[in-house]
Structure 1
Amino acid sequence: MAMAHPSQAASAGKDISVRTITFDDLRIALRQGWDDFLAKRGDLLFIGFIYPIIVALAIMSASQMSILPLIFPLVAGAILLGPAFASGFYELARRREAGLDARWRHFLDVIRKPGGSALFDLTCVLALLFMAWMAAAWFIYHATLENVPGSTSSPGAFLSALFGTSQGWRMIVVGNLVGFGFALLTLAVSVVSFPMAVDKPVNWGVAVRTSCRVAWHNPVTVAAWGLIVVALLVLGALPALVGLAVVLPVLGYATWHLYTRAVVR
């Protein structure tokens, strides 16, 4: 593990050091995340809240075709909120690391911790990014595919217009570029901020600044982490989304361990 070259930043009356991390740190964090998953499996909890979301999306798409253009941005944008939903996994990983009781009843302890207000503030930041992304996605649709007659009359008509017209391809290209920008911003803001708020009583500004400094100090490694997260989410979604029941908890635990390697505690 690379632990050298700490860089300092003063914020809110204290210096927080960040470390240089390497691809080996990513590998170790993922391995430790897998170990935590085997010890405290998150699949049942995940299944408990993901399938109602899937059902709700299916009902909305079947009953109101006008939201079809927003289904993919909605699902993709939900990833932006992932760090907030994973806060309970950070707490379980922290407790297991410290040799404390890490049973499931501690999953929601993050709400009652001194850093709970920071977690709420950080969640609001991600929620604002999510809403901004949805607004951007709607604007892109309005400027492109909405001009194709009948494009939302049925799922088949929507897909045909999306992949069979120049407006559809323009929507795909512009939407993905804008989405990539939102993803980079979210990655920089949240790569270590949520685990830090779980770990210690810091305010949201300190957590965000430190997270951005980790990304600035380790651009290639953090970008690689983002690609790993996306790749694992895609792989987990392929078998009817069931694989996400494993992928999401593992990523939650692994993010905690990446934080412990990227920030001097």
Structure 2
Amino acid sequence: MTPAQHVQPALASAQIHIRDITGSDLRGALADGWDDFKDKRGDIIIIGFAYPVIGLMLAVLALGYSLLPVVFPLAAGISILGPAVAAGFYELARRRERGLDSSWRHFFDVFSGPSFVPLVTLTVFLAVLFLLWLGAAWTIYQMTLGSLDPQGIGSFMSLLFTTPEGWTMIVGGNLVGLAFAALVLTVSAMSFPMLVDRPVDVGTAVATSVRAVAHNPVNMLKWGLIVAVLLLLGSIPVFIGLAVVLPWLGYATWHLYTRVVEIEGEPRRPAA
């Protein structure tokens, strides 16, 4: 029997409990996340700036290649990768919660040890969803506003809000985007923090996230809306606010995870 076979039964027999949460838990998670951000987090704000810089580069690329219709899907769709980008913030919040050194160099601890492969696997899955979202957005554009062949930003914006094709694109795009967002929330809300916290496989982490959303549908939906609103506000103007919003949400998501998921019979991942 291989070492992996020795480990797997322990993982399968772990008791993973999903707690009921309320609106006060959501507010508490946000408050605790903000405390994490304020406490010695100024030294890593440059990491938070990486997110808006990537967003700006993608937007410039899209404009440079006359792909104006996908600029908004790019901005909205980048949030699909948010849970993966925030993995380092989960680690810092985990360490601070346990009274360990939480300086910036530990941001990259998630890229070593047993968490690395599952985190990469789940990140690749989110990246595929991101590409599928862009493909869906482009298809919706081609089926609606693309038939009118807008020329330039002014023409595009005018046709978007003054024609039936434009409004069909807005409504259809938002409905499809909502479906992608709901899928990402269900799959990743608790799975990424769990992979940072415990030496579990991707299947266990994703199944736990799905159970958490199914057990607390209303409050997890509220959490998804809070995340969406904060990401939107952080994107105005030109994504700069995400340098604050992304770390804050990363820390807050960790604290929501600790309120939702309770695990018995399985050791926590040791500190690096």
TM-score normalised by L of structure 1: 0.90
Alignment correspondent of 1:234: 232
CA deviations over 1:189-219 (Å, ceiling 9, x no partner): 1111000000011111111110010000000
Percent of matched pairs sharing the same residue? 52
Alignment correspondent of 1:4: none
Which runs of 5 or more residues in structure 1 are unaligned?
1-9
| Shift in Å, 1:58 | 2.3
User: Aligned equivalents of 2:50 and 2:71: distance in 1?
Assistant: 21
How many residue pairs were aligned? Answer: 252
Which runs of 5 or more residues in structure 2 are unaligned?
1-9, 264-272
1:7-156 equivalences under 5 Å are 12-39=12-39, 40-41=41-42, 42-61=44-63, 63-65=64-66, 67-149=67-149, 151=150, 153-156=151-154
Alignment correspondent of 1:6: none
Question: Structure 2 vs 1, CA of residues 235 and 52 (structure 1 numbering), >3 Å: closer, same or farther?
Answer: closer
| Shift in Å, 1:124 | 1.5
User: Aligned equivalents of 2:154 and 2:261: distance in 1?
Assistant: 48
CA RMSD of aligned residues (A): 1.7
Alignment correspondent of 1:181: 179
8 Å CA contact 2:55–2:75 kept in 1: the answer is: no
Pick from 256, 259, 263 the counterpart of residue 257 of structure 2. Answer: 259
Alignment correspondent of 2:201: 203
User: Aligned equivalents of 1:143 and 1:238: distance in 2?
Assistant: 29
After the TM superposition, which of the residue ranges 226-235 and 209-218 deviates more from structure 2?
226-235
Higher relative contact order (Cα pairs below 8 Å, separated by 6+ residues): 2
| Shift in Å, 1:51 | 2.3
Alignment correspondent of 1:220: 218
Alignment correspondent of 1:5: none
| Shift in Å, 1:163 | 1.2
| Shift in Å, 1:129 | 1.3
The runs of at least 4 consecutive aligned structure 1 residues that moved more than 4 Å come to none
TM-score normalised by L of structure 2: 0.88
